[in-house]
Structure 1
Amino acid sequence: MLTDTHIESMAGLFAKNLTSIRNLNGYHNYIYEVCGNRTFILRISKDDNLDATNCEIDFLRYLYKNGCPVAPPVLSLQKKYVHLVNIDEKSYAVSAYKKAVGKDWRTRGIDGRERLIIIGRILGKMHKLSMQYKPCNRKRRRQWDESPHIVKAPGIFVRYNENLLEKFNYYMSRMRKFPKNKDSFGLVHGDFLFSNYFFDENNRISVFDFDECEYSWYIYDIAVCMYYYLLGGRPKELDSKAKEAEEMFYHILLGYISECELDMDCLRNMNLFFQLREYVLLSSVLEASMNNLNGWNKDFVEGAIDRILTGKPFINVDFEEIYNKVARDKL
């Protein structure tokens, strides 16, 4: 178990004269805001995959160098981006990142149309750069189907509902055959939800938390962004949000295609990418609370399983028609 002394020692790898360490209550990792002779975000990964962290940082530095508004990694006092720290026979990959400027989603409220266009533009810029990215390391980030939640899903789903496992296996077989090319598939953020970017008072965006970056279809980042907005705090109300989804996608797309084209095969199958995130979240929620589902978790699980077993789309929207409308409006 990590103690305050351990955390202070890890923070001291990146700064002197520490004055405060604030726990930000990370989900997958231990995350702290550290103040000293400089302020930064400290991340202590619960697994010791040094190669994965180094690959993530290489991609992040590439994006930052090429003008993407991302929170870059911070060099330690020993001029290293990642340290492997051993405590009680357990290893942790320790890294640090510049603190993003702006407000988090709890204080900034719902992002309006202008911000949705900015989100689309930044995703388009990131994906365009990803198409040209050549990793410095021989090791690569994981593939989309190597996500821990996807890997663990069969064992979780079979305990909850055998029909769910059957649907999942069919879905995975289909997605493993889905077309991939340099314009549709590459390294993506992987977790581009509303809590992983800030906006400042001048509407400048700063994107962070690339811990889930993986090789996947570029459209997946758009699907993840929309998925959590639409699901919101009341999963039972999802069916009433088609108009909201149409407007959201329209404005994201306005920004996106100003930087990068969208693959039409992916666009026509948008709900497959919503479903990918659905399986990821369903696996995570069931793993954590299968025997004690209540509140939001219960409402989400019931809705997700109904959609999966009946073949209902996540949201009933004609995404290709919206794309055509954006194309017409830009003429």
Structure 2
Amino acid sequence: MEEIKTGETSFFVCLFDKAPGRMVKVDGDLFKPALFETWGETVGKMHRVTKGFVLDSGRRDQWDQDDLLDFEVYLNRTRDAEIITKGIELIKEIKALPENLANFGLIHSDIHPGNFFYNEGEIHVFDFDDSKYHWYISDIAIPLYYSTWWKYRNESLEVRSGFGEVFLYHFLKGFQKEHQIEAEWITKIPLFLKLRDFELYTVFHKKWDMASINKEQQQLVEQIRERIIRDELMVMLPYKNIIEQLKSE
């Protein structure tokens, strides 16, 4: 690993062995329930192992130390005043959740389809730069969010939710092969879907000059903005029905 300094900050350059396999495209033949179950099983295994992991030195950040939650720094305080207010209230609501070793710990935090390769029935996860201490349920909400967003972001809430229900059911089916999660936490997924909308909205404002973005970028930003303003989630799912279906198997 090498540190490269630039201006007032620095970057770390790391060299890794390439993971086996290839990326799965959301419009490809592999993007189906069998993959979702393997994906969930992989995350379940990671959570099971993480709960017994003790870090020898150093520590990853807590979730609320992420600068993307500094909404007033990156967003327009006039145009986005309502979004800033909603974001602050959401953070307060999430902070009020119970926190213990069973539900909170070190997670990957960004396991979307672009951060793993699929090879001979196995998923190989990489890109751990966003790893942080967070509620474990966030590591389930993020795959649900991005799988839906990448594949159906231009579709209606009904279409997105139809896919999301299939995805989450099979993901949890795989997850529970390796690790158990309390049903109560599954019903908290909407909070973390909403949080990802705020984080993504902020990251676009952080990385892009809003005065010179192209039409596609503008559409991405406006879709998220409109969802936040309308209090619309990426998906609206019958979580209790999914839980009961999993219990009956």
Q: TM-score, normalised by structure 2?
A: 0.89
Aligned with 2:134 (options 197, 208, 216): 216
For the residues of structure 2 that align with 1:165 and 1:212, how far apart are their CA atoms?
Answer: 23
2:42 corresponds to: 122
For the residues of structure 2 that align with 1:94 and 1:184, how far apart are their CA atoms?
Answer: 33
1:168 corresponds to: 87
For the residues of structure 1 that align with 2:186 and 2:7, how far apart are their CA atoms?
Answer: 48
1:150 corresponds to: 69
For the residues of structure 2 that align with 1:107 and 1:169, how far apart are their CA atoms?
Answer: 33
Q: Deviations over 1:7-55 (max 9, x none)?
A: xxxxxxxxxxxxxxxxxxxxxxxxxxxxxxxxxxxxxxxxxxxxxxxxx
SS at match of 1:192: coil
1:317 corresponds to: 237
1:321 Cα deviation from its structure 2 partner:
1.6
Alpha carbons 1:253, 1:323 under 8 Å: kept:
no
User: Which amino acid counterpart does residue 262 of structure 1 have in structure 2?
Assistant: I
For the residues of structure 2 that align with 1:315 and 1:92, how far apart are their CA atoms?
Answer: 36
SS at match of 2:15: strand
Which one is further off, 97-106 or 248-257?
97-106
1:314–1:107 CA distance, 2 compared to 1 (3 A):
closer
2:211 corresponds to: 291
SS at match of 2:106: strand
For the residues of structure 1 that align with 2:42 and 2:3, how far apart are their CA atoms?
Answer: 32
Ranked by relative contact order (alpha carbons within 8 Å, sequence separation 6 or more), the top structure is: 2
1:108 Cα deviation from its structure 2 partner:
8.7
Alpha carbons 1:144, 1:214 under 8 Å: kept:
yes
Alpha carbons 1:120, 1:251 under 8 Å: kept:
yes
2:150 corresponds to: 232
Larger radius of gyration: 1
Aligned pairs (5 A) from 1:1-331: 82-85=1-4, 91-106=10-25, 109=28, 110-137=30-57, 139-151=58-70, 153-157=71-75, 158-200=77-119, 202-232=120-150, 235-239=153-157, 240-287=159-206, 288-329=208-249
Alpha carbons 1:242, 1:317 under 8 Å: kept:
yes
SS at match of 1:104: coil
Q: Deviations over 1:201-243 (max 9, x none)?
A: x222211110110011111112111111111265231412211
Q: Deviations over 1:123-152 (max 9, x none)?
A: 001011111111111x2101111123223x
Which runs of 5 or more residues in structure 2 are unaligned? Answer: none
1:231–1:296 CA distance, 2 compared to 1 (3 A):
farther
1:294–1:320 CA distance, 2 compared to 1 (3 A):
farther
User: Which amino acid counterpart does residue 176 of structure 1 have in structure 2?
Assistant: K
Q: Percent identity?
A: 25
SS at match of 1:237: coil
User: Which amino acid counterpart does residue 146 of structure 2 have in structure 1?
Assistant: Y
Alpha carbons 1:238, 1:315 under 8 Å: kept:
no
User: Which amino acid counterpart does residue 149 of structure 1 have in structure 2?
Assistant: L
For the residues of structure 1 that align with 2:222 and 2:9, how far apart are their CA atoms?
Answer: 37
Alpha carbons 2:153, 2:160 under 8 Å: kept:
no
Which runs of 5 or more residues in structure 1 are unaligned? Answer: 1-81
Alpha carbons 2:183, 2:243 under 8 Å: kept:
no
For the residues of structure 1 that align with 2:87 and 2:46, how far apart are their CA atoms?
Answer: 30
